[in-house]
Amino acid sequence: MVLALDLGTTAVKAAIVSPQGELLAWDAEPQPLIFTPDGGVEQDPHQWWATLTRVVQRLLQNNPELRDSVRAVSCTGQWSGTVAVDAGGEPLGNAIIWMDTRGAPDIQALVGGFPSLMGYNLFKLRTWLALTGGAPTRSGKDPLAHILYLRRADPARYRATYKFLEPKDYVNLRLTGRFASSYETVALHWLTDNRRIHKIDYHSTLLRYAGLRREQLPDLYPSTARLGELLPSVAEAWGLPSGIQVVVGTPDLHATAIGSGGLSDFQAHLALSTSAWISCHVPFKRTDIFRNLATLPAGIPGRYFIANEQETAGACVEWLRHIFWGDCPPPDAYAQIDAYAAQAPAGADGLRFSPWLVGERTPVENPDIRGGFHSLSLQHGRAQLARAVLEGVALNARWLLDAVERLAGRRLEPLRLIGGGANSTLWAQILADVLNRTVWQMAHPQMATVRGAGMLGAVAMGWTDWTSLEQHAPVQAKFIPNPTTRRTYDALYREFRARYRVESRLRRWSF
């Protein structure tokens, strides 16, 4: 069996996964975010490890019959974060996570200059696109922005740093004592030559652009490589036998693509987690700079996948839960939100919701745009508020699907639905109607990421292959578009796109 670990943004998960990708047991625990006065978003790496230890110990104590069958550990985690560590592997302060934008001025200074296109120096942009398939996002949410921010705002910490690691790689360091990463994990540093998919490495020109040294970054391996044995101290603390192998692993977007069961090219999935994305594996390297989309190295070695992200999906529902119940929500809060939404018709009686609560990345990069409710009236209550939130996220996903299918060069159907939001059958039907696509609700959709980590670990250990895993992917239910409701949503989609144009102009004027 594989012990799969998932260091998520808002929760830590651990699961025991069979060689066929079956979830045998799992556990989870929430973890907090730290918001700094200057707009940063951080987490404590020591707290990561403490939470992970509790979750694993509880999982193994509750499933003693599986403990001795564990032969490998495979980790995934939130992508696009930065942990600065010293030579002993100790973190030098909090981790900067993917929501942090404090490095935006540093990135804009790096990428700008005459002649310019969309804020990018044309000569640098051409080099980044040719080598990496993309370019640093001007919003400042990439790890490269985090590193440049530390160099400017905390030079002592920057100078003391031995390696800058992604969150997953920090966990692997604690598991094995090795400073290492994988080809696809470091893609958002925009420092690697991704043209030779089987042999990716840092590129001297890109390092020179950023003013970074190669030795500040970890060595790179395929995601299925074995880092070595689990440290005896960790095995003892967690209650595991000795000799367990640790797999390099892959970030959450890549692990989710695997855990969705869509392992062949163009087998797409839609993830409804804190954020949302639509992706699939593809056989080519391609970029759409106008819609902030690119194909980047995948968690499956030798493949690419379509990388994108919409900033808030499940986070909008969490925000609504807080609006309804404050800091004391009922245990079945999400089920109640679903029940409220089911009471309102398609279109939420005229109430509209834009889900851009922390800006947007794709298909537009706009960190300044903000969302909210529109056309709110005295007749609207919890039913309309809940329905409008689910519909607003779905309309945003349709905007993304248009862009993703354009990049893929084909219609993507069915869409495998995963993530915590995929537990809602109502939301699944709304998505089928809004997107006009058959939607497959995968079994245990909220566990797709940790399941994907386990599946990757099983392949790395030689126990199975990708084809066999795709054949075993369990589908819980299938949702077909309703033609009547779809016509309503076609009209709402046109209105949604028009609202973005108005809101973006208003934001520009307000600044």
Q: Domains of the chain (ranges plus CATH)?
A: 2-249 (3.30.420.40), 259-510 (3.30.420.40)
pLDDT, tens digit, for every residue of 434-445?
A: 999 999 999 999
Number of C-beta neighbours around residue 65 at 10 A: 8
Q: What is the amino acid identity at position 418?
A: I
Average pLDDT score, the chain: 95
Q: What is the pLDDT of residue 330?
A: 97
Element of type H or E holding 495: helix 483-510
CB within 8 A of 415, min separation 6: which ones?
268, 269, 270, 278, 431, 435, 437, 438, 439, 440
* Cα–Cα dist 73/69, whole Å: 12
* pTM above threshold 0.85: yes
β-pair type (245-247, 72-77): parallel
* Cα–Cα dist 61/106, whole Å: 47
CB within 8 A of 99, min separation 6: which ones?
9, 33, 41, 141, 358
pLDDT, tens digit, for every residue of 346-375?
A: 999 999 999 999 889 899 988 889 999 999
Q: Is the pLDDT of residue 473 over 60?
A: yes
Query: What pLDDT band is residue 39 in, cutting at 50, 70 and 90?
Result: confident
Closest CA to 503 of 348, 392, 378, 380: 392
508, burial (CB in 10 Å: exposed 0-12, middle 13-18, buried 19+): exposed
Q: What is the pLDDT of residue 118?
A: 85
* Cα–Cα dist 276/315, whole Å: 10
Mean pLDDT of 317-338: 96
* Cα–Cα dist 190/152, whole Å: 19
* Cα–Cα dist 179/173, whole Å: 6
pLDDT, tens digit, for every residue of 216-266?
A: 999 999 999 999 999 999 999 999 999 999 999 999 999 999 999 999 999
Mean pLDDT of 117-131: 94
* Cα–Cα dist 412/428, whole Å: 16
Bridge partners, residue 82, by sequence: 96
For residue 133, give both structure tokens: 């398939």
pLDDT more than 70, % of the chain: 99
* Cα–Cα dist 46/381, whole Å: 43
DSSP string, 440-451: EEESSGGGHHHH
Residues of the chain by 3-state class (helix, strand, coil), percent to 5: 40, 20, 35
Mean pLDDT of 44-53: 98
Q: What is the pLDDT of residue 511?
A: 44
Q: What is the pLDDT of residue 57?
A: 98
Q: Is the pLDDT of residue 507 over 80?
A: no
Q: Is the pLDDT of residue 509 over 70?
A: no
Whole-number CA gyration radius for the chain: 22
